[in-house]
Amino acid sequence: MPLYFAYGSNLHPRRLCARAPEATLISAATLPGFRLRFHKRGADGSGKCDCAAADGSYSVHGALYELTPACLTRLDAVEGPGYHRHPVQVTTDFGVIEAFTYRARPDWIAPALRPFHWYRELVLAGARFLGFPETYRRAIEAVPTRDDPDAERAAQHAALLEAVRGARGR
């Protein structure tokens, strides 16, 4: 079964399981030598997460999930053409584990983009749920956001955020 390192809006199991129902959270994990950025151009025109290569003083915190082949197919479709699968070695309480993650394709990176407020809050909810370090959570909180101009999409994600914030897992 493939192991997936989630670091963006898929961090929280409730969010990921809405997209890939058979996904199983294994543990929190860390990807050294990368930095969390919100510079991937989303289909909606907002900034989405990417784990960008950085010097060794940086790490991206995330969640390690086990996926079924059907989950992987659905996740590939959701992540779309702006990301590609990338093999990584993540550190967990069980040691270093081989997994894959999604990284932004270079032609989909736009450094000036800002995420929608609800998107950043989904990432933050996952970081809180998984108990990431306070300094890491504060760095996410400090990312400037913008309002989603699509009121229906914003309302759907507000409802998802409420469910995620109230969840204790799946």
51-69 pLDDT, tens digit each? 999 988 999 999 999 999 9
pTM, entire model: 0.94
- pLDDT, residue 127, reads 97
Low-confidence residues of the chain, pLDDT below 70? 167-170
The one-letter amino acid at 68: T
Q: Judge whether 98 and 164 are in contact, CB under 8 Å.
A: no
- pLDDT, residue 80, reads 85
User: If you write DSSP's letter for every residue of 93-135 in order, what string do you get?
Assistant: TTEEEEEEEEEE-GGGB-TT---BHHHHHHHHHHHHHTT--HH
Query: What's the start-to-end Cα distance of the chain, in Å?
Result: 20
Cα-atom radius of gyration of the chain, to the nearest Å?
15
> Distance (Å, rounded) from C-alpha 14 to C-alpha 21?
9
**The pair of three-digit structure tokens given for residue 121, joined into one six-digit string:** 């809050």
- pLDDT, residue 165, reads 83
For the stretch 8-26, pLDDT in tens is: 999 999 999 999 999 999 9
> Distance (Å, rounded) from C-alpha 148 to C-alpha 47?
11
- pLDDT, residue 170, reads 44
**The pair of three-digit structure tokens given for residue 13, joined into one six-digit string:** 């199991």
Q: What angle do CA 90, 91, 97 make, to 5 degrees?
A: 55
- pLDDT, residue 164, reads 87
- pLDDT, residue 169, reads 47
- pLDDT, residue 168, reads 55
**What's phi and psi for 101, nearest 5 deg?**
-140, 175
